[in-house]
Structure 1
Amino acid sequence: GIGTVPVGRVETGIIKAGMVVTFAPSNVTTEVKSVEMHHEQLVEGLPGDNVGFNVKNVSVKDIRRGNVASDSKNDPAKEAASFNAQVIVLNHPGQIGAGYAPVLDCHTAHIACKFSELLEKIDRRTGKAIEQAPKFVKSGDACIVKLIPSKPMCVESYSEYPPLGRF
């Protein structure tokens, strides 16, 4: 075989042979040996491209779905122990308070995240805070919540890396 060939979409920047990438949150670092798309060798993968890339000395067991590979030397992705998210409750029976733990789908990760704190309720149209530290939110409400993933997860701020900052 030619080793392990992870597959994914280039979200920002490029990927090309010779780059050293780190997979987060697995924390595995390796060199990219080659990049391909539809079984054709590529000089580089660009945003939007679904590519496979060959990596040496990485077992399939070392990395998993939802990992984010990024340039080790240039602002590499890191796992988030917690993060603040803007959430709109579309359709939910009853009210939601701290402790609620829905499964989030963020890029290709699929992970339960607990609402550890409701920080503020906001106006859906303006984004302005209308209530600090609400006890509960219900259908139709928008809020900022502190989320704690149940297992290591990679997210980035929407302002810096939009594809990795939405779910």
Structure 2
Amino acid sequence: AGISKDGQTREHALLAFTLGVRQLIVAINKMDSTKWSEARYKEIVKEVSGFIKKIGFNPASVPFVPISGWHGDNMLEESKNMDWFKGWTKETKTGSYKGKTLLEAIDAIEPPTRPSDKPLRLPLQDVYKIGGIGTVPVGRVETGVIKAGMVVTFAPANVTTEVKSVEMHHEQLEQGVPGDNVGFNVKNV
């Protein structure tokens, strides 16, 4: 449990990094059960900083926020119970961020870059055969854009075809951009 050697905190941090997550917030919960202890907060910051650094995160870019989810302390508004907490600082390539609450830490997350200027890369999640419509591959646009009229090639089968239409959540799109989960109708496949 928690931050112990076989705890979920370590496992989740490793999984997040392995899956490509590069921005992290550490919310140290249940501060009410430690009577708002600054010493316990510092102990957890030291322990967690050590293992997230080994995983590949830079602890200087990770806000550590002491909270009580039960009481709402430091979630949306600054807590009166932890007057020793002077706030968190997050150093990134684009600058420095400061705050005191979990909400401010969430607001300081930098949106990912959406490389729409690169070639189209769209890993397929599934392919549906819909009567009267045809073949509808489904996946998430990682780079580039997809729009009706484009000629696309599926790898590794090396099948080339034209995109007839692009949809997201059953609504027609002019184009799908990085981050969009789309379905697109293709000709003769």
Q: Return the structure number with greater relative CO, CA threshold 8 A, min gap 6.
A: 1
> What band does the TM-score fall into relative to the shorter chain?
0.3 to 0.5
Structure (1/2) with the larger helix percentage: 2
* TM-score w.r.t. length of structure 1: 0.35
Larger Rg: 2
